[in-house]
Structure 1
Amino acid sequence: MSLPHPLPIVPTTDEIVPAIQRIIAQRNGVRQKILDTITPSTATFDTVMRPLAEVENAVQGELGMIYMLQYGSPSFATQEAFNKARKLYVEAEASWTADGAFFKLLRAARDKPEIEMLDPESKHLLERELLEYKHAGHGVLDASELDAYSRENMAIKDLEMKFQQNIARENGGVWFTLEELDGLPVEELEKWRDGPEDGLQLENGESKKFVPFANGGTLAVLTYARRPETRKRMFLADNMKLAENKPLFEEIVKRRAAQAHRMKYPTHADFRIERRMVKTTEWLEGFLGQIRKTLCPRGKEEIEVLQRRRLNGLGENGETGEQKFQKFYPWDKRYYERLMEQEFDVDHAKISEFFPLEQTATGMLGIFASLLHLRFDPIPTESLPDNVIWHDTVRVFSVWDGKDGGFIGYLYFDLLWRENKYRGNQSVNIQCGYLRPDGTRQHPATILMCSFPTPTPASCALLKQHQVVTLFHEMGHGIHDLLAKTRYVRFHGYHLPPDFGEMPSVMLENWCWMKDVLKGLSCHYTTVNDDYLAAWRKQHPGEPDPPKKIPEELVDRLVKHRYFNQGLYYLRILSISIFDMQIHSLRTEEQIANLDVQKLWYDILEETEGMDITECRDGFAFGTFTHLTAGYDVCYYAYLCCTAMAQDLFLTVFANDPYNKESWERYRRGILEQGGSQSDLLQMLEDCLGRAPNMNALVEGLARG
């Protein structure tokens, strides 16, 4: 099978460091030529910034593939090679932004009258480059201070990488007897290995199950285990993992604060907010305060509903105890949510049977194809050269424009959890699109890199509804990446401030709750493989085979209760957002010295979400998620901000006619194709809405639900 465009090559372990060295040399060569031939008097965008942009464009694809390997490679050796390469590249970037002579040329180019003749994206690029130099200390620090500041930034990046590695390599879990795991579905139990704990067999010869924290283990126990002591034990053990990240995290936060003060910013939050869509911490604090004021009462009401359900269960079992009747614990939340959903006749395990991962993902492509005039052609695995995929479970699609038949780019699926892989769900760009000097366009390539739980012997990987939403969200990022048409890789796709970049994908989540979409995506897993059907029949003797499509009544109940406990869901995001702001708002040396992230984390959770976490306070949950050490510092609020904008966009443009072709064309041209090329993103959204955005749309939507 011939390919319309060469696929990016995956470097071998031995090629990674030399490739980075070659890329650095290439960029250094361009920079040196500019320094040798251009003076402040002759500096213009074309003589200084454009050559930089062209080499950045040219090397990004190879660089993107190398950086992807930190998330996707199953090999420790490859990841270690990446770490060495990354260190070289980060050091090179630091040396570039430390170059005062180059800063003077860029500033001189900006001050020339001809800057007003540039297209808006080129102007934006120059301003962004100057911001990089400003944040590197130019115009603020003297020469001796610049060197120390740069070295400290490198040290912080090294700590961040160590933090991330600890998360990726975490492999803990808890041993339980089958009796302790009463209530867990068979398909969950089959995922976990049998064996005696610590080499000891139980007296009756029964083996135990090792339930990992990763690969859906903790969630499964908290959702299904009937015994409260089992749920508590799993939750507290999970809460204690990654203790080694506590000192790393505290050190990162303290050093960030000191660096911000060195740069004459009041706080690290004030420093970082310049890179965001919202430009002031005052605006952000007001936004979070308003959401807190509205959501906390709703969350309290939702906890009270769960507590009533819990107390009813305790009473039925003959348990009485004053303490138990006064407190609601976090390890009970998911279990009683499930019981409440069952009372609504919302059985997520049953529903998940109709959403096998591979078929659901492919079905989603069909939705995007219809809405945005696209075509996705699967490339047979046997047609792929060995050097273009990094694991044998990866699938590749060529993407085409359904209107003119033109080639758009490549989309990869890497959807299943595996050892050493990134533990979350994300879209990873490996090749940005851009405009070449000759006017032709480089085609993009992007990956859906997820860690959905693996299949069992009796069935394929199945998605719960929240995972269906997650997959659609990440696929939305991928589509954004594919459809962007920017001049420069710096602004390609969702390469824009994250407090805007999440908005398009969050908006698309609304389609995951439309009845016709759910029906269209559904496909009972037993129709995928005859062996699955045979296994199902053994487990359900005498019952008729399940329907191929999800029954109407299941969809109706699921959609009806869409907003069940959504207040608590958003309160968790709010808790992390407040924590993010507070740890990055240290103004004095005393505040830095006295920072206790552990206490602050659990104080905020208790105050915001209203559950009793007394027994959790010695844990390290703040060290288990990647965002605040991977570019989302002073940005976790983006999920709330983007949800508000997305809800507003959906209700204004799409709610009355979700499949209107003109609306989708306007959205494609006005939002997706623009990427991050516009300097005023709120104005871009306003142009699409026809009015100023309504930032209260999130809570207003919950109230309607």
Structure 2
Amino acid sequence: MSLPQSLPRVPTPEEIVPTIHRIIVEYNTVRAHILQITTPSTATFNNVMLPLAQVENAVQGKLGMIYMLQYGSPCLATQDAFNKARKLYDEAQASWTAEEPFFRLLQAAREKPEFSTLDAESQHLLEKELLNYKHAGHGVLGYAERVQYLKRGVEISDLERKFQQNLAKEDGGMWFTLEELDGVPRDELAKWNDGGEEETVESKKKKFVPFANGGTLTILTNAHLPETRKRMFLADNMKLKENKPLFEEIIKRRAKQAHLLNYPTHAAFRIERRMAESIGWLRGFLGQLQATLCPCGRDEIEKLQCRRLEDLQTRSPDGNEQWREKFPPWDKRYYERLMEQEFEIDQQVISEFFPLEETATSMLGIFASLLGLQFTPIPHDTLTGEFIWHDTVRAFSVWDRKDNGFIGYLYFDLLWRENKYRGNQSVNIQCGYIRPNGSTQYPSTILMCSFPTPTPTSCALLKHQQLITLFHEMGHGIHDLLAKTKYVRFHGYRLPPDFGEMPSVMLENWCWMEDVLKGLSCHYTTLDDNYLKEWRTQHPGEPDPPKEIPERLIHNLIKHRYFNRGLYHLYQLSISIFDLQIHTLSTDEEITGLEVQKLWYDLREEIEGMDFSDCRDGFAFGTFTHLTAGYDVCYYAYLCCTAMAQDLFLSVFVDDPYNKDIWNKYRHGILQHGGSQQNLLKMFEDFLGRPPNMNVLMECLTQGVSR
């Protein structure tokens, strides 16, 4: 099939700032023309908002590519160019939204009788644009005050960017002897550098374990010695001290900005862009979860503590009374693993059946089947530096099987590397829309993850939780590809996160289905004879592993699906409450007296039930990307969307999860709309045929099984 649209081109570092200048000029030209020929009496959607929307549509792909490079480019020159470009664009946006005459035109267009005759998406666009101007101070601040207010907003963006850059460049770690690393899998040891800070015979017996690229998680999960786990956790907890003052300054400035616009708190300011009804509703939702989840988490901690005491008594029969104190956070992963092994669940063995690249490609087959799609790999030799930002990136053209229609492009950028975003996300490069001449601009989207890199003797492997993460992010990518909106403002998952996470969370249920797990599995030793040779060396006398994951492993995994899920959701809850509390500072005294560090560890200890007393001089909040990357007053989205997603799955999909008619209805009733619907909750209720059951999350946990 011929491609109707070429792959988006990656700009060079030298092209980034000039491109932003051209985009700004294009906006300035259109805005000046609108102001020249239009008055409030003649203003309509078609002569004020529509020309702006058409420029926004036309330039979004170039902006999207440039903004993607802040996450994905390994080139520091590119990132430096992006920083200059973003500052220019932020300042331009601030100057645009400061303009009183343009605000008056938008207001006048909204008040015209013609507004009621517009399609719903166009009405929604104008309402959103007016909200932008309201949040820029119109109706509250004078012009000079607005300029200063918007300037301070740009300064906050600069602080957020510095926070994220510090995190991407973090390269710390710990030195351990091989004895201290007892229990760590041999393949993992092989990833880490030998030697020491001093070239001595003794130091060469050590390994440098980085905090990033899965290092901390590997130690906490596998190292037998409690002191090794504790040292790694506490050292990791102390990293990025430089982000503490940045974070505190961001929070305080956000609060002051909200007060300037007569909002009582930053949370009240932000909730206007969320699906949640009000701060009161949000407090009630989180409070109810705390009341019901905390007892569940306490029971799970008690079981982990019992297993811990048994293990420590075996290691040191003389004992130590300190063992019997509260459960420390650095032991959680290790004793979860030991308890899973008692259920005959070995995450390390399970991961051998899910090599990253092959599993990701197999996942595409699932989405192709469910949604009537086709993913065609683009030959790697055609993906030159003009079209990709790193040589590990893969790309696919996406087609609709029903009519062979082209849908767009999907990229895989799945492995950790230096200077790359440290989380897992779906990143849009190009939104889809219809051009004024009637032709189609097709979307392009990326799965940008930071899964640990391969070991010297095997490929990258996925633990089951990482498998779920990949499915989740791929769900975002598919949502982005399948949306059909008039305006890029609402394309794909460009919608409030407290609804936008729901489709991807719903898809996580497929990672607990026996046939899905079996279909995705492929033992990594079948991919390369050298892998098999090394596996035999590490498992002398054992038969070669099966090609597919054994049924007993799948059965045990599914049977214990809800093992420690209470603690998993309590972690989300503690961060959600922290997010809400730091953003509900309502007085100058509260702003001045904010103790972010104390509040972070107080809440985690209170809600998660572990003993964080040795960690309180740390800076773990300085490693948390969401609250400086658009998820402020929104981390609760994961809990809210988990409840809605579970309700959707249990009421619509569970009885026939592969029903093509249901999936087609879902594609067109939810995914295709993107964020174009003004009332997302009503859209969801219309699809369900009733209001969502927000209690279903706890119902599933307490029952311990899904229907």
Q: Give the TM-score, by structure 2 length.
A: 0.99
Question: Which string of whole-angstrom CA distances, capped at 9 and with x for unpartnered residues, describes residues 162-197 of structure 1?
Answer: 11110110010001111100000011111111112x
Structural mapping, 1:38-57, within 5 Å: 38-57=38-57
Instruction: Determine if contact 1:272/1:634 at 8 Å carries over to the other structure.
Output: yes
For residues 201 and 617 of structure 2, the distance between their equivalents in structure 1, rounded to whole angstroms, comes to: 31
Structure 1: which 4+ aligned runs deviate by more than 3 Å?
1-4
Once the 2 structures are TM-superposed, how far is the Cα of residue 342 of structure 1 from its aligned partner? 0.4
Question: Which string of whole-angstrom CA distances, capped at 9 and with x for unpartnered residues, describes residues 473-493 of structure 1?
Answer: 000000000000000000000
Of 179, 186, 208, which aligns to 2:206?
Answer: 208
Change (3 A) 1:354 1:215: same
1:106 matched to 2:106? The reply is: yes
Once the 2 structures are TM-superposed, how far is the Cα of residue 440 of structure 1 from its aligned partner? 2.6
Structural mapping, 1:576-655, within 5 Å: 576-655=575-654
Partner of 2:321: 322
Which secondary structure does the structure 2 equivalent of 1:291 belong to?
helix
Question: Which string of whole-angstrom CA distances, capped at 9 and with x for unpartnered residues, describes residues 522-568 of structure 1?
Answer: 00000111111111112122222111000000000011111100000
Partner of 1:73: 73
Once the 2 structures are TM-superposed, how far is the Cα of residue 150 of structure 1 from its aligned partner? 1.1
Change (3 A) 1:247 1:117: same
Partner of 1:185: 185
For residues 541 and 298 of structure 1, the distance between their equivalents in structure 2, rounded to whole angstroms, comes to: 43
Partner of 1:520: 519
Partner of 2:557: 558
Structural mapping, 1:151-300, within 5 Å: 151-196=151-196, 198-203=197-202, 206-300=204-298
For residues 60 and 658 of structure 1, the distance between their equivalents in structure 2, rounded to whole angstroms, comes to: 36
Partner of 1:660: 659
Instruction: Determine if contact 2:432/2:442 at 8 Å carries over to the other structure.
Output: yes
Structure 1 counterpart of 2:190, one-letter code? E
Structure 1 counterpart of 2:193, one-letter code? R
Partner of 1:140: 140
Partner of 2:82: 82
Of 303, 306, 309, which aligns to 2:307?
Answer: 309
Instruction: Determine if contact 2:137/2:146 at 8 Å carries over to the other structure.
Output: yes
Higher mean displacement: 325-334 or 128-137? 325-334
Instruction: Determine if contact 2:10/2:65 at 8 Å carries over to the other structure.
Output: yes
Q: Give the TM-score, by structure 1 length.
A: 0.99
- CA RMSD, Structure 1 to Structure 2 (Å): 1.0
Once the 2 structures are TM-superposed, how far is the Cα of residue 328 of structure 1 from its aligned partner? 0.8
Partner of 1:479: 478
Which secondary structure does the structure 1 equivalent of 2:438 belong to?
coil
Structure 1 counterpart of 2:39, one-letter code? T
Structure 2 counterpart of 1:450, one-letter code? C
For residues 3 and 534 of structure 1, the distance between their equivalents in structure 2, rounded to whole angstroms, comes to: 42
Which secondary structure does the structure 1 equivalent of 2:311 belong to?
helix
1:121 matched to 2:125? The reply is: no
Once the 2 structures are TM-superposed, how far is the Cα of residue 2 of structure 1 from its aligned partner? 5.8
Which secondary structure does the structure 2 equivalent of 1:633 belong to?
coil
Structural mapping, 1:26-37, within 5 Å: 26-37=26-37
For residues 505 and 334 of structure 2, the distance between their equivalents in structure 1, rounded to whole angstroms, comes to: 26
Question: Which string of whole-angstrom CA distances, capped at 9 and with x for unpartnered residues, describes residues 234-257 of structure 1?
Answer: 000000000000011011101111
Partner of 2:441: 442
For residues 98 and 147 of structure 1, the distance between their equivalents in structure 2, rounded to whole angstroms, comes to: 6
Instruction: Determine if contact 1:201/1:207 at 8 Å carries over to the other structure.
Output: no
Structure 2 counterpart of 1:295, one-letter code? L
Higher mean displacement: 655-664 or 379-388? 379-388
For residues 49 and 90 of structure 1, the distance between their equivalents in structure 2, rounded to whole angstroms, comes to: 20
Partner of 2:150: 150
Q: Which runs of 5+ in 2 are unaligned?
A: none
Question: Which string of whole-angstrom CA distances, capped at 9 and with x for unpartnered residues, describes residues 188-211 of structure 1?
Answer: 111111112x224254x6421110
For residues 222 and 15 of structure 1, the distance between their equivalents in structure 2, rounded to whole angstroms, comes to: 44
Higher mean displacement: 71-80 or 436-445? 436-445
Change (3 A) 1:690 1:248: same
Instruction: Determine if contact 2:95/2:147 at 8 Å carries over to the other structure.
Output: no
Question: Which string of whole-angstrom CA distances, capped at 9 and with x for unpartnered residues, describes residues 455-499 of structure 1?
Answer: 112110000000000000000000000000000000000000000
Question: Which string of whole-angstrom CA distances, capped at 9 and with x for unpartnered residues, describes residues 606-652 of structure 1?
Answer: 10011111100000001101110111100000000000110010001
Structure 2 counterpart of 1:290, one-letter code? Q
Which secondary structure does the structure 2 equivalent of 1:397 belong to?
strand
For residues 595 and 701 of structure 1, the distance between their equivalents in structure 2, rounded to whole angstroms, comes to: 37
1:362 matched to 2:361? The reply is: yes
Which secondary structure does the structure 1 equivalent of 2:646 belong to?
helix
Structural mapping, 1:398-477, within 5 Å: 398-477=397-476
For residues 236 and 456 of structure 2, the distance between their equivalents in structure 1, rounded to whole angstroms, comes to: 26
Instruction: Determine if contact 1:65/1:431 at 8 Å carries over to the other structure.
Output: yes
For residues 439 and 703 of structure 2, the distance between their equivalents in structure 1, rounded to whole angstroms, comes to: 48
For residues 147 and 551 of structure 2, the distance between their equivalents in structure 1, rounded to whole angstroms, comes to: 65
Q: How many residues align?
A: 703
Instruction: Determine if contact 2:194/2:204 at 8 Å carries over to the other structure.
Output: no
Change (3 A) 1:184 1:130: same
Partner of 2:492: 493
For residues 97 and 277 of structure 2, the distance between their equivalents in structure 1, rounded to whole angstroms, comes to: 23
Structure 1 counterpart of 2:79, one-letter code? Q
Structure 1 counterpart of 2:44, one-letter code? T
For residues 386 and 587 of structure 1, the distance between their equivalents in structure 2, rounded to whole angstroms, comes to: 50
Which secondary structure does the structure 1 equivalent of 2:423 belong to?
coil
Instruction: Determine if contact 2:184/2:219 at 8 Å carries over to the other structure.
Output: yes
Once the 2 structures are TM-superposed, how far is the Cα of residue 279 of structure 1 from its aligned partner? 3.0
Which secondary structure does the structure 1 equivalent of 2:446 belong to?
strand
